[in-house]
Chains A and B, each alone.
Chain A
Amino acid sequence: MGHLLMFLLGSSCEGFLGTAVPQARVDGYAEAKDSGVPLQPDAGADIGSGDAGVSPPSSTPQSDLQIELDFLKNTPAPTVSGTGCSDPAPMLRRTRPLTRTEIANTLADVFPGLNLARVNFLTEEVIIGGFSNTSDAMSFGDSNVDKLYEIAQFVTDFAVQNVGRLTKLPACNGSLSDTCAKAALLQWTSLLWREIPGATLDQRVRLGYDDFKARLGTSASAFRFSLFAVLMSPRFLYVQEDVEAGPGSVSLSCKALVTNLALILWASLPDQMLLEASRQPAFLSPVGLRTTIESMVNDQRFYRGFGRFVGDWLDTRELPTLTRNANIFKGYNADIGFRMVAETTAFSVNLVRRAQPFSSMFQQKTTFVDAKLASYYGLVLPTQAYSGIDPSQFVEVNYTDPAVRGGLLTLGAFLTCYAHEDSTSPIHRGEAVRERLLCQSIPPPPPTLNVMVPPPSPKMTTRQRFTAHTASPACASCHAGIDPIGFAFENFSGAGLWRAAENSMPIDSSGALVGTTSSDGPVMGVGALATKLSSAAESQTCFTRQLGSYALARVLRAQDACLLRSLETPLGTSNASIRELLIQTLLNESFRQRTAEP
């Protein structure tokens, strides 16, 4: 193996002939150490929703294999002590793979025009603890590594063929030269590896390229193999949080900070401008950071970042893959589903950008649609209006009857996701409110119960059917906290359309909010339910947690109590905007501080 290749690969010294001289790293990329104190996992007692049942630690292992088996299971979270605000423990610095979405977005940003639909792309992220960007969501097993190998070749072919257009480098007009190849590689490597162009990177790229050139002969081959190496490298595929050392806790380096900001707000890596901005002394000042965040929120790419948050939070991103009975839900199909997801994104992004208060999330009397979705809902749009699924192109419309629709709960995506194939589902809607909007965990039905919902009947309304279904005492105790919420939605079909009657019987949308300390009570219809939710302390706290979890890219722990309290206060008392909540979350110490390594 050519010894110069190591510059491009940035490899450890393992495997090189005889020599193992550790090199000082300027980028915080740690050395391989064969002995050393292993870090504690960044785990703790989860806060709030989700899976409270941590399995007991395994008993005495019977064999090596049993030990291995236990290792393959989730390590039980250690008990956390000292959760008071006086002693907030910052999280440990982390190493996590970019997610599938982040890789796709980055490739699309760095190589405009690349059509990833033509390659067998990576496996969907595994959502654990609510968000696709939490550190467990992605991994590179055999299947993904095979795909990555194909993807890297596909991207390489595209990039080399389009180098002139993509880089706009004068050296790349005309036939491929070493000068062009090296300059292009420098530009792309800088973005893919989040490295500031400079002597170190420049040298690494040049030497790597020269080595490939010497081995392979042609500029084109050297170019391809160099870029392939850059794409396969963990420097591209992993976020490693470099820190700037200090006593006790440490802060993320500017590079790590700007990378995290871009991943949260854009679901992509930072661009050249952002990388350069992060090198300015003003970047770290509160004003400087705020300015950066604000400009990122106003960027087109914010649709992707915030759309991902909302899609994960409400679990609406799989909507187009859900089967809905076309005979019952006329006009609804996957195409409409895609548009409903885009609508939810556009709706949410605009709440943030316009600095609207938290309550507007439940009461906003406008939405964003394209021509097809407008016609599906029966809203009026100019005939030449945009038709497609890019949320940034969606047009704002007023609800023609503002008393009927308003806010998140009456968006088609929410209504359609929480439904059955052939009817609404008061249970799923009620559950979604409790779990996703109030962060409360609903236990699954005991295995002995018959949880089969009776099939739709022309003689009954959905409400009647479900009321009978959960009437038995064994069911009723739990469902008293679910069904009344769900029944308030009954004026909206399982595909998001208004209905006054079902099977020629009038809809009864009386229900109640359950699960809050001071906002519980009967409601008539989803509008009244939304009003109650908008002022419930629990829904504000929950949203703060959800946004906090997404922004920190992990399941929140008991130690995060301080962070949450400091963020909830303005939201609750002064009705601060969602935009301010987002900014405050990202400016918060927790977003930047890490525990020093032992």
Chain B
Amino acid sequence: MNVFDRRTLLKHFVGPAALLPFSSMLANAQGMSGPRRLVIFYTPLGTSPVDFASSMQGNKLGLGRILQPLQGHLSDVIPIEGLTIFDSGTHLAIARVLTGERFIGKGISAGPSIDQVVSKFVGQSTLFPSLQFGVSTPLSGSYSNLVSAGSGLPMPSQNSPVEMFKTVFGGARFGATPQERSATASILDGVRGDLKALRMSAGALGRQKLELHEQSIRNLERRLATQIPVTATCAQTAPVLPSAAASDFVEIGRAQIDLIAQALACDVTRVATLQWTGEGTNTRFPWLASKGVPDAGHHDISHVESYYLPGGPMSVIQTFYCEMFASLIERLKSIPEGAGSVFDQTLVVWVNSMGRGDTHETRNIPVVMAGGKWFFKTGRMYKAPAGRSHNDLLLTVGQAMGLNISSFGESRFCSGPISEIIA
């Protein structure tokens, strides 16, 4: 099998698979302005609560110091304070942020994360039901399992924009000739048949795994046989990184943000997560040194109480992440779609697994929602009463994406949607 990318092979490929209609076109035909999309933006180790706190001045939202980069999007956002992630209190909370579930192993969640459940609903007609983007996420380890496909099935994030681009826009190898491509197709077809036969004789746990495997082979087949047309909306621009970029945190983050926007605009996926590092990791922020961030790792910094004072290092770091969050919004707004932009059909949620990192406190979790205006009352803040569960947020996000669910995660920690922010 020679190296052969999808763009080239499609010139030769003859078959119904190449004519797969694009779901966005379908949506347009149905008179919708576009498909609904969800982006989760995760940052670790809590915030500086005093600088995160926003306020309402009459009807006007007054953003906290950390959230100043969102000033230009004031009418699009909802800062949320006061939610609690229950049954946690350590860095393992990362595995509960999006699942709201108990653990069945160290940092292994007993259920799916909200993005994965949403992807089952809105993502099945796209090439990728969901995509997991990462920036310096640890490859393994209990403190980095943000996304979960189901019980005991954490999904890793892809840290390399270059690899991600290959995956999304056509780097898979498929064979050099029509005969080879058809042979590959029959092999995958046969593998699926074998998996199905095996599934019929397997026990329940085995069956679930085999089904997942079968589905993944089907997804692979679909990707191998599909070319995404380049259009004005879907430019498919490869990430350009400085040569020493492998370690350039900011550049990689920006490239991932750009790829998320492209993937949504091309409608190859409707669900994406962007995971910045993980819990317990020691990212250094040399570019923030001039603003007073010491030459130490994020985890170490998060354990120093005085760094939580107004304008202190924890505040500066979170402001940096907020700038990244704002740039994601800007990028989505910059791509026209229908009468508006891609952003109009997107809900972006910034989550964190702690309130503050020094006490490992999982009360007062900082959250910022942006977009999702078809469902939310934006341009105001919400301060949750003590004891309101973060699971309620996940449930609300699920409902915003059209899911017909009334509880999410461990039911004892879910009391209902947050009606205060629903339009």
Contacts and interface: CB of A to CB of B under 8 A. Distances in A.
A124 B140 contact: yes
A69 B112 contact: yes
B200 A36 contact: yes
A228 B185 CA distance: 12
A335 interface: no
In this complex, which of A32, A73, A449 has the most chain B Cβ atoms within 10 angstroms of its Cβ? Answer: A73
Interface residues of A, number: 98
Nearest to B1: A153
Contact of A58 (B116, B184, B207, B411): B411
A455 B303 contact: yes
A240 B172 contact: no
Contacts, number: 268
B72 interface: no
B205 A140 contact: no
B134 to A, nearest CB: 12
B196 A32 contact: yes
Contacts of B179: 215-217
A41 B203 contact: yes
Interface string B63-104: 000000000000000000000101111100000000001111
A44 interface: no
B180 A92 contact: no
Contacts of A40: 203-204
Interface in B143-189: 149-156, 163, 167, 172-173, 177, 179-180, 182-184, 186-189
Contacts of A127: 105-106, 108
Contacts of A216: 177, 179-180, 183
Contact of B105 (A75, A126, A449): A126
Interface string A152-196: 010011000000000000000000000000000000000000000
Contacts of A96: 206, 209
Contact of A72 (B150, B188, B282, B359): B150
A74 B362 contact: no
A452 B197 contact: no
B291 interface: no
A511 interface: no
B140 A1 contact: no
A66 B1 contact: no
A570 interface: no
B193 A9 contact: yes
Contacts of B191: 9, 229, 232-234
Given A11-B190, A95-B202, A142 B219 contact: yes
B194 A11 contact: yes
The residue among B1, B141, B187, B220 with the most chain A CB atoms within 10 A of its own CB is: B187
B216 A215 contact: no
B204 A39 contact: yes
A289 to B, nearest CB: 26
A215 B209 contact: no
Of the four ranges (under 10, 10 to 19, 20 to 34, 35 or more), the interface on chain B belongs to 35 or more
Interface stretch (A275-283, A439-447, A544-552): A439-447
A9 B195 CA distance: 11
Interface string A57-72: 0110011111011001
Given A135-B206, A321-B140, A451-B360, A65 B404 contact: yes
A128 B216 contact: no
Contacts of A88: none
B138 interface: yes
A15 B198 CA distance: 16
B347 interface: no
B103 A51 contact: yes
Given A11-B193, A139-B212, A145-B220, A74 B152 contact: yes
A19 interface: no
Interface string A114-131: 000000100110111100
A29 interface: yes
A519 interface: no
A5 B190 contact: yes
A30 to B, nearest CB: 3
Interface string A83-102: 00000000011111100000
Contacts of B120: 65, 68
Contacts of A141: 149, 153, 155, 212-213, 216
Contacts of A217: 179
Nearest to A64: B404
A445 B205 contact: no
A36 B202 CA distance: 12
A104 interface: no
A160 B174 CA distance: 18
Contacts of A9: 186-187, 190-191, 193-194
Contacts of A589: none
A6 interface: yes
Given A34-B200, A41-B203, 14 more contacts: A32-B197, A40-B204, A66-B406, A73-B101, A120-B163, A123-B156, A124-B140, A126-B105, A143-B155, A149-B172, A225-B187, A234-B213, A240-B198, A449-B89
20 contacts: A12-B196, A32-B200, A34-B200, A39-B203, A59-B411, A73-B110, A74-B110, A123-B140, A126-B153, A136-B104, A136-B205, A141-B155, A149-B172, A215-B179, A217-B179, A225-B187, A318-B140, A323-B282, A452-B303, A452-B360
Interface of A: 1-2, 5-6, 8-15, 29-34, 36, 38-43, 51, 53, 55, 58-59, 62-66, 68-69, 72-75, 92-97, 120, 123-124, 126-129, 135-136, 139-146, 149-150, 153, 156-157, 212, 215-217, 221, 224-225, 228-229, 232-235, 238, 240, 318, 321, 323, 421, 444-447, 449-452, 455, 597
Complex A-B, nearest 6 residue pairs according to Cβ-Cβ distance, in ascending order: A9-B190, A30-B201, A95-B206, A41-B204, A124-B140, A128-B105
